[in-house]
Amino acid sequence: MDALEVKQFGFTYAGAGEPALEGLDLNLGTGELALLCGPAGCGKTTLLRCLKQEISPVGERTGAISLHATHIGYVAQSPENQLVMDTVRHELAFGLENLGLLPQVIRRRMAETVNFFGIGPWLGKKVNELSGGQKQILNLAAVTAMQPELLLLDEPTAQLDPIAAGEFLQAVEKIRRELGITVLMSEHRLEEILSGADRVIWMEKGVIKMQGRPGEWAAWMEKQPLPMRGILPAPARIWGRLSETGDSETTCPLSVAQGRIWAAEKANRNKTFACRRPDSAGGISGRDSEARGTVLKAGTVWFRYGRQEDFVLREASLEIFRGEIHVVLGGNGSGKTTFLNLLAGVRKPQRGKIRIQEGLRPAMLTQNPKAMLTADSVQEELEELSERFGYGEKEVDDMLERFRLRDVSGRHPYDLSGGEQQKTALAKLLLLRPDLLLMDEPTKGLDVFAKRELKTVLEELRREGKTVLMVTHDLEFAAEVADRCSMLADGEIVCTDQGKEFFASNLFYTTQTNRMMRGFADRCVVPEDVAYE
């Protein structure tokens, strides 16, 4: 029996002219794991919410949805905002209390859930002591404890770092595998989950364009124009570039492991891979950038948050040259954000010196753009500092044009999408005409399209001669934009290298392409690098 049947479903928001969803046909078998993908604003969230009656939006529906599930679990994007109670224990109990279960039954269910997810050690904690990834797993656990037959997940990993996202997706797979719960998940981070999924549903502008097995979908997707194609994991994109007539669609590799098998097969058939690196457009080579002079120099910086605390940064040194895009990579808790805050002058290091070239103005884009948005509309937001920093209407207008924000200029910043919020924050920042731009995790929560736009903006800035320093753990994005990369680990800068070189000389901490092609064509870093000899 199917867990979910959607027939010719359409939905129009109250007060909106255009339908948000149109003519959707969808069946989900029991125990299936289906991925819902598509560009931002294609109606993924609307569809998921329409399936969950308690939070379904107000508007007009057509067609039919039949659900063969008594309980439906729903997990949304933000780890923090979904938490209700102040302790982990009560958070887990919250849903069970709502079901009206007896206290002893709740105890038992909670004990089971805690064991299933392995979250016993957190049980006595306050929720705000947990990391983002832990919070999201707690949300999943709290929903799973209520015994749903269908789980709806709305971009659950968008706000998480790669490690936490991986852990979360593993937990989802475990639920599917061991409990046989049907899962429908919208997601744009596909590297880890795609090979484990049963089906991919691709939506565009409220319509299902394609649905099929992951391999079929990836092969179809590979024929789409570039910004869309970017959503595919690197192995599938390499396959798409190099597959020949005779390669059937089912062989499309979806993970690094599958990719290596495919590459080995090709190698057996006397194909030799090579690294063809197109000249990085506008990029700067090593000696060039040094010649342009140093913009910022941090020398053996030590920092800790309190007298009793451990040092977060120990002997961190970094030199940034004019006009380059410099990316600092590092895992969670390596001190990236702290380092950036020091460079931006928000905090002062206890030891060491940070020297910024005379007369240079730095500005920082925070991880969460909402922290920078304080006005009631995009227009006001951009005008806010006009007096203090001496810019006028014309500059604001140009900025709205440049970031394509004119259509939303009257809206409240909180009503914008994550990508638009970030563009607004960036526009606000650029109005101050900074020479050195510091960015904290700029790709967090962005989908491929927004990332693509960000990349374009970064390249423009480079052309204008601005310097950009970015900290991130998004390796694939870093590989695409960086002129130079540094790795921050254990409070110090461990190494600094030319952008692509950096990834080519790392073993684990590198892009999928590099991991997949290791031994076949070692120096490849992005899918575009890979070619036949």
Q: How far is the CB of 198 from another protein (least distance, A)?
A: 24
Q: How far is the CB of 98 from another protein (least distance, A)?
A: 5
Site string for another protein, 467-506 (x = CB under 8 A): ----------------------------------------
Residue 413 and residue 427 in contact, taking contact as beta carbons nearer than 8 Å: no
Which CB, 62 or 350, lies closer to another protein? 350
Which CB, 94 or 449, lies closer to another protein? 94
Residue 368 binds to another protein (criterion: CB under 8 A)? yes
DSSP string, 310-327: PPSEEEEEEEEETT-EEE
Which residue of 151, 325, 378, 429 would you call a contact of another protein, by CB under 8 A? 429
Residue 327 and residue 318 in contact, taking contact as beta carbons nearer than 8 Å: no
Residue 81 binds to another protein (criterion: CB under 8 A)? yes
Q: How far is residue 430's CA from residue 398's CA, in Å, rounded to a whole number?
A: 11
The candidate with the shortest Cα–Cα distance to 185, out of 151, 140, 231, is: 151
Which residue of 12, 27, 30, 87 would you call a contact of another protein, by CB under 8 A? 87
Which residue of 40, 67, 69, 85 would you call a contact of another protein, by CB under 8 A? 85
Which CB, 110 or 400, lies closer to another protein? 110
Which CB, 263 or 438, lies closer to another protein? 438
Residue 443 binds to another protein (criterion: CB under 8 A)? no
Residue 202 and residue 35 in contact, taking contact as beta carbons nearer than 8 Å: no
Residue 84 binds to another protein (criterion: CB under 8 A)? yes
Which residue of 412, 452, 455, 523 would you call a contact of another protein, by CB under 8 A? 412
Residue 156 binds to another protein (criterion: CB under 8 A)? no
Residue 278 binds to another protein (criterion: CB under 8 A)? no
Q: How far is residue 466's CA from residue 453's CA, in Å, rounded to a whole number?
A: 17
Could you tell me which residues come within 8 angstroms of residue 212 by beta carbon, excluding any fewer than 6 positions away? 199, 200, 220
- The neighbouring-strand residues paired with 320 are 296
Which CB, 40 or 101, lies closer to another protein? 101
Question: Please, what's the b/e burial string for 235-272 (b: 16 or more CB within 10 A of its CB; e: otherwise)?
Answer: bbbbbbebbeeeeebeebbbbbebbbebbeebeeeeee
Residue 98 binds to another protein (criterion: CB under 8 A)? yes
Which CB, 177 or 361, lies closer to another protein? 361
Altogether, the residues listed in the chain come to a count of: 533
Which residue of 8, 62, 64, 80 would you call a contact of another protein, by CB under 8 A? 80
The candidate with the shortest Cα–Cα distance to 500, out of 226, 189, 278, 340, is: 278
Which residue of 8, 115, 128, 272 would you call a contact of another protein, by CB under 8 A? 128
Residue 102 binds to another protein (criterion: CB under 8 A)? yes
Could you tell me which residues come within 8 angstroms of residue 130 by beta carbon, excluding any fewer than 6 positions away? 88, 122, 138
The candidate with the shortest Cα–Cα distance to 429, out of 466, 456, 455, is: 466
Which residue of 8, 62, 64, 97 would you call a contact of another protein, by CB under 8 A? 97
Q: How far is the CB of 461 from another protein (least distance, A)?
A: 17
Residue 341 binds to another protein (criterion: CB under 8 A)? yes
Residue 455 binds to another protein (criterion: CB under 8 A)? no
Which CB, 139 or 498, lies closer to another protein? 139
Question: Collapsing DSSP states into helix, strand and coil, what is residue 137?
Answer: helix
Which CB, 104 or 245, lies closer to another protein? 104
Question: Please, what's the b/e burial string for 185-216 (b: 16 or more CB within 10 A of its CB; e: otherwise)?
Answer: bbbbbbbbbbbbbbbbbbbbebbbebbeebbb
Residue 62 and residue 8 in contact, taking contact as beta carbons nearer than 8 Å: yes
For the chain, report the end-to-end CA distance as a whole number of angstroms: 51
- Written as six digits, the tokens of 240 are 């798409």
Which residue of 8, 29, 62, 99 would you call a contact of another protein, by CB under 8 A? 99
Helix 393-402 vs helix 418-430: angle between axes, to the nearest 10 degrees? 140
Residue 366 binds to another protein (criterion: CB under 8 A)? yes
Residue 372 binds to another protein (criterion: CB under 8 A)? yes
The candidate with the shortest Cα–Cα distance to 402, out of 437, 426, 386, is: 426
DSSP string, 496-521: EEEHHHHHHH-SSSS-HHHHHHTTTS
Q: How far is the CB of 75 from another protein (least distance, A)?
A: 8
Which CB, 102 or 226, lies closer to another protein? 102
Which CB, 152 or 194, lies closer to another protein? 152
Residue 279 binds to another protein (criterion: CB under 8 A)? no
Question: Collapsing DSSP states into helix, strand and coil, what is residue 72?
Answer: strand
Residue 100 binds to another protein (criterion: CB under 8 A)? yes
Q: How far is the CB of 417 from another protein (least distance, A)?
A: 14
Q: How far is the CB of 13 from another protein (least distance, A)?
A: 13
Residue 115 and residue 135 in contact, taking contact as beta carbons nearer than 8 Å: no
Residue 141 binds to another protein (criterion: CB under 8 A)? no
Q: How far is the CB of 10 from another protein (least distance, A)?
A: 23
Look-up of token digits 């410099």: 326
Residue 51 binds to another protein (criterion: CB under 8 A)? no
Q: How far is residue 95's CA from residue 14's CA, in Å, rounded to a whole number?
A: 30
Which CB, 381 or 492, lies closer to another protein? 381
Q: How far is the CB of 57 from another protein (least distance, A)?
A: 11
The residues of the shown chain that bind another protein, judged by CB under 8 A, are 52, 54-55, 73-74, 76, 78, 80-87, 89-90, 93-103, 106-107, 110, 126-128, 139, 142-143, 146, 341, 344-346, 361-364, 366, 368, 370-372, 374, 376, 385, 388, 412, 414-415, 428-429, 432, 438
